[in-house]
Amino acid sequence: MRRPTTSLLLAALLLGAAHPAGAQAESVPPFRALQDNRTVPESKAQVQLSFAPLVKRAAPSVVNVYGTHVEKRAANRGAMDEFLRRFFGDAGPNLPQERAQRSLGSGVIVDASGLIVTNNHVIENMNEVKVALNDRREFEAQILLRDPRTDLAILKIKSPSGGLTPMEIGDSEHLQVGDFVIAIGNPFGVGQTVTQGIVSALARTQVGSADYQFFIQTDAAINPGNSGGALVDLNGGLVGINTAIYSQSGGSHGIGFAIPASMVKAVVETAKGGAKTVRRPWLGARLQHVTPDIAESVGLDHPTGVMVASMQPKSPAEEAGLKRGDVILAVDGQTVDDPEAFGYRFALKGIKGETKLTVLRGSSRTTVPVRLGPAPETRPRDALKVKTRSPFLGSTVVNLSPAVIEDLQLDLPAATQGEGVIISEVEAGTVANRVGLQKGDILIAVNGTPVATTKDLERVTRATAPMWEVTINRGGQQMTSVFGG
């Protein structure tokens, strides 16, 4: 006998569904019975379900942020001005006396006093900031706090006239993959726009747009200009600040990332307390990923946690009794899968009291209490921006200390974490950049003279020299280079 074709089977099922009565209906359940418990709308009100009430409540809290950096030109601009004056005469074209750079993004009002949270990259290098409300009112704003490590910044409206609608900071810890979320911002400068999607993933740590990476991933359309805008849950709470997109074209491909509200809240509270910088707890240990091989060797059924690779002397990690090779599995009961996740969880604990780490040591698990406190600045940084003619021209150096290592997020070997001078910044296109100096290089000697402080380097670089012999420590390896004067 020939087997029934697919079309005949489908017809039989449809007939069974269409005629529930009779023997066939009893042997083949109705098609509707095969579905889950979703139901067909039974009223006009159910058909007209909408996000509109939520958007109406949340939209007034989201603002447009305009940043401007005005650079004044010198009165005498050189040969080009003189050429134009001679060619055109005194009535010739007037070159602009100022050059302005502009940025555009979004922000969220989080306090009735006029506090606004946005992305640091929206107002980076800007010295004038304005915000435009949903009702088209515009205000000047001052920058209270910049936190590049989280890519967050806090603004305050200078002269609020009342009528501000703050958004409550929600609970990002209870978000689940699949939850509905709303993104509100100002994409491409077209004006306030609302998009809807779901939480696609949580705890994304390989995005690369901030030091503390623990992002909410969403498929709500996020585009340039949405940065600093709100990710809102169905309770109307702020669960994230939209900060990055994954795109090869610059437009939305359905992969957007938001900074969780738990980190946003910590930065907002710092600004409310009047601090200009966010201080975070210091562990004083270098951590590494747990690979499949490491997981198998320590008895884990899958790679999770972080392994202690080394510790700084007199650090909280050393004081707590952590040992090299320990695997940290959780912070106050919250599991961590990689160093980025650990850094995020640990940073939220503040700088007072203690936290408990779940540690796997050998074949046993134990709980280790760790004192919370900021990294000590054992000596002043004495930052020096080198402006003299030397291989260091265009670099900024500071005196090394645990606080500097923590702030710069440097992964230095334990042997190099004492005193010294370290390069904290190298401007693009400068001499220092061209000769290959890098952020994190530790200076040992210049032209045979030991460099222990930034003042030592300042004295050495005052002199002119036909050749420069520079010895540095980079990643634990000492190297010497010779440059022309």
The string of DSSP letters for 280-341 reads -B---EEEEE--HHHHHHHT-SS--SEEEEEE-TT-HHHHHT--TT-EEEEETTEE--SHHH
Among candidate residues 61, 106, 121, 172, the one labeled active-site is 121
- pLDDT in the model for residue 372: 96
- pLDDT in the model for residue 60: 94
Which residue, 418, 466, 409, 407, is CA-closest to 444? Answer: 418
Which of 61-70, 402-411, 429-438 has the weakest average pLDDT? 402-411
**pLDDT tens sequence across 315-356:** 999 999 999 999 999 999 999 998 989 998 999 999 999 999
Q: For domain 285-371, give its CATH number from 2.30.30.30, 3.40.50.720, 2.30.42.10, 1.10.286.10.
A: 2.30.42.10
- Higher pLDDT: 82 or 178? It is 178
Distances (CA, A) of 221 to 99, 202, 342, 407: 34, 17, 29, 33
Asked if residue 18 has pLDDT above 80, the reply is no
- pLDDT in the model for residue 210: 58
Among candidate residues 106, 200, 227, 424, the one labeled active-site is 227
Residue 433 in marked binding region: no
Structure-block tokens of residue 24? 């066939």
**pLDDT tens sequence across 418-443:** 678 999 999 988 999 999 999 989 99
Residue 135 in marked binding region: no
Q: How many CB atoms lie within 10 A of CB 66?
A: 21
Residue 151 in marked binding region: yes
What pTM does this model have? 0.75
Among candidate residues 61, 106, 151, 219, the one labeled active-site is 151
- What phi and psi, each to the nearest 5 degrees, are found at residue 377? -95, 90
What's the distance, Cα to Cα, between the start and end of the chain in Å? 95
Which residues partner with 128 through β-bridges?
68
Residue 76 in marked binding region: no
Q: What residue spans in the chain does CATH classification 2.40.10.120 cover? A: 51-278
Which of 170-174, 266-270, 305-309 has the weakest average pLDDT? 170-174
Superfamily of domain 384-484: PDZ domain (2.30.42.10)
DSSP class of residue 430 equals: S
Q: Which helix (H) or strand (E) holds 87?
A: helix 79-88
Confirm if 198 and 70 have CB atoms less than 8 A apart: no
- pLDDT in the model for residue 31: 36
Distances (CA, A) of 352 to 45, 279, 347, 355: 52, 11, 12, 9
pLDDT band at 97 (very low <50, low <70, confident <90, very high): low
What's the whole-number mean pLDDT along residues 40-59? 80
Residue 297 annotated in active site: no
- pLDDT in the model for residue 33: 41
What's the whole-number mean pLDDT along residues 111-119? 93
DSSP class of residue 173 equals: G
Confirm if 42 and 115 have CB atoms less than 8 A apart: no
pLDDT band at 47 (very low <50, low <70, confident <90, very high): low
- pLDDT in the model for residue 124: 86
CA 251 to chain centroid: 20
Long-range pairs, 286-290, Cβ under 8 A, ≥24: 286/310, 286/311, 286/411, 286/412, 286/414, 287/328, 287/339, 287/342, 288/339, 289/338, 289/339, 290/327
Q: 51-278, which class in CATH?
A: mainly beta
Residue 171 annotated in active site: no
Residue 226 in marked binding region: yes
Residue 151 annotated in active site: yes
Confirm if 20 and 30 have CB atoms less than 8 A apart: yes
Q: What residue spans in the chain does CATH classification 2.30.42.10 cover? A: 285-371, 384-484
